[in-house]
Structure 1
Amino acid sequence: MDEWIGHYKDTVDNILYRSNVHTCYYKRDVISNGVRTQHVFGKGCLNKDHVCTGRFPRKQFKSTVIDSDGHINLKKNESWINTVNEVMVYLFGCNTDCTCLSSGTAVKASAGYIADYISKFGLKTYQIFSSIYDVFERNPDIIDESKDETDAARKLILKMANSLTSKIEIGGPMAAMYLLGHPDHYSSHEFVALYWRTYVVYVLNQWEMAAEASDANADMDVDMDTTRAEASFEVPDDEAEHEDGDGDEPDHTPKEADSIVVSRTYGRILSKSSVDDYMMRPEDLDAVCLYDWIQCSVRKLVVGIKKPSPSLLLYMKGHPLRETHRVLYDVGRMKHIVPNILGAYIPRADGDDRNYYCCTMLTLFAPWRAATDLRSSAEDWASAFDRYSFAPRHLKIIQNLMIRHECYDSRDDYHAQLKNQAILGPTTKETNFPTRTTYSIWMSMLTGT
């Protein structure tokens, strides 16, 4: 046993010495003071502001402390080595960096990072052009080094593809699953699209139109129930005689802007709008909010069915699909169906435009058939939001919608620290780490014991 413990300590000592001591050097192709600095290996850690992106040197703590925000700072006596755990060092056999996730800040930052990594959002346009530009900058002599222009173009395209692939962080297993036709994820729930801005834009525009009509003393009445904020038309092929599918479809259209889809169904020209579908929902669903409507409602085609089921509800009079479709409202769908909120980000509760946030929450979680149902002309959106009594379930969802912003705030704390450090001055290494030490000295320096 003593022999194994000695081997264990020597192994940890060797790994820490070889992989955990940090040394700062510049990244590849970093221009500092007008001079381009390059390294033939490694990514480097110093940016153009001479700040270490690896967050070194780390703060030292003589004892474990908890700050006012609830963040836990573990005891640390060495600034040029990661926070380590000897068991993890021995098991992984490589450089490790431990952190305490007992604080809400660390948990939220980790959750935001993991969610972004899993979801793999597409690259933005400027990121794509930046990657292509970097390829050209790093390979100025590729034409001279190639056999001909075709070979040079092939090499450039290959380098661009590799650069973009690394940017979106697509691993080999995910690419293989796609090529083999296997699913790339597994989930316990199904998701239905909810383009929330469609409805919020409609509500805001209706109130704006009503205000303009009132100010101008317009003679015509503004019909809050039927006027649409925006309209974009999609006309299908004239040869389409009826809708495809088995007759079941979500009770909304996958469009972010308020849209009217004009289609030919059984010889009739019909217009369909996701906003109209909700506003003219069956009378029995008068108390259902938009979020629950998207989650629980399914549109059913009843043409050719002599006696539709009593559970299938009629749209209100005036809806173009009243004669051909019914609505099945299944509360049981709440257990396995989750609205996937798409489009722009949900506004922040603590953002600059409080009224816009309140209007969004009321549109999603308060039942309405007309924009005027959400508030009166004598109050603003914030007052209407404070006055309305949301269901406990909806209050929980509203709180959860802000978790994403909280995760990003926690993640951005580090970026704010980097900016402050860049203002204060460049990183300077004040500690000369010993060239060789024993396990006991390492552990005493790291833990203060």
Structure 2
Amino acid sequence: MQAFIRTLLAFDPAQKDAEGGILGVVKSYFGCVEAQGRGSLHCHMVVWVEGGLNPNEMRERIRGDTTAEFQRRLLAFLDDTISTSMPPLPEGYTEPSSPLPHPCSVRGLTPEERNSDVAEQLAAVDLHHVVAACQKHVHSNTCYKYWKGKGHAKECRFDLDEGNVCLESTIDPETGQICLRCMDGMINNFNDTVIQAMRCNMDIKFIGNGQDAKAVLMYITDYITKSPLKAHVSYAALEVALTRLSRFDGTLTDVAQRARRTLQRAAFALVAQQELSAQQVASYLLDLEDHFTSHSFNNLYWTGFERYLDSLDPSPECAFIPATQYAAPDSPDAQTAAERVEDLADQQPHDESVHDGVDEYDEQLDSMNAVDEVGVTTSRTGELVPLANQLYDYVYRAPELDRLTLWDFVSRTKKEGKS
């Protein structure tokens, strides 16, 4: 994947490469690795290209394109980038009598073949075989797993059908909807260069309108949040966990320690029932990436901020809050704003203000109810380091940062220790 990003996408973090890769100049990307039912790993990636317009800008640009020049250039780019038909074999080519190896098991053209006089013809033959093996769809029972039975249309859930043919790419000037040409309804979209280099099944789609953007966001969110355990496996794992929880350990007398041990047993029992493919296990053991991103992201621990805001202005829709906790301003039990900040900040995940490992420490604490037992930690050199958190940082930020919203403060600022 790193070779794909570096060579085919030609992503340049310094943004100095004006030529770009197969999709143009890439501004950013985000990819997530997932294991399919067979266990093989694949990556879902969203790529942002320099000059790309958001759906609203795209629609306005198309509506204002009186000469249709922008539409022509856009469709020419998409037709050149996305292929939707079986590449033809060179004229006069005949298949050899002996069986050929699977095209995904070989690297394609050798250096000698690439430098030969028939390199173009050999590349065309190789592309044809790779697309035929990887992109040509054959209907199976999986295609109709959501079919409701007789009386309902039996359609392939991948929307691949012999009748899905469109001879010319078009754009609806009113809605901005783009319909790419499709010469073969049983061929999944692909890019010539990517499939020849990666030699595996692929898909590629242009997100040019709001409907497509919403569909992709829904697809990505569904993949990120879905459970790795199937329903029947989850129930079986839960049964095993409950059986183990019923075992009493008489050596533990402390209630808190017994509760922690019980939770550990339940968690271990669930994890032990999870099926992992050899590829997943190898990926974990080799510490390979499970996601690829061009940018770094900061975590926003919203729960503590929400509690703080609710303490300043309690909402009737929220859970009941004892009256003594937020007494009248003139009451002896009343808290100042600073005291409320300190109390709520103590319940929020902490990060280390002057050394690395912020995220690792934060993730180990419960963002809802954790009460810190210590207020210091140690740096890599063994020195004591005071702890701080986002709520402290934002509420007590410098006057120069007063105009920053919470979102901008978290995403645009970086905390560094004093030397």
TM norm structure 1: 0.36
Structure with greater Cα Rg: 1
TM norm structure 2: 0.38
Larger RCO (CA under 8 A, 6+ residues apart) = 1
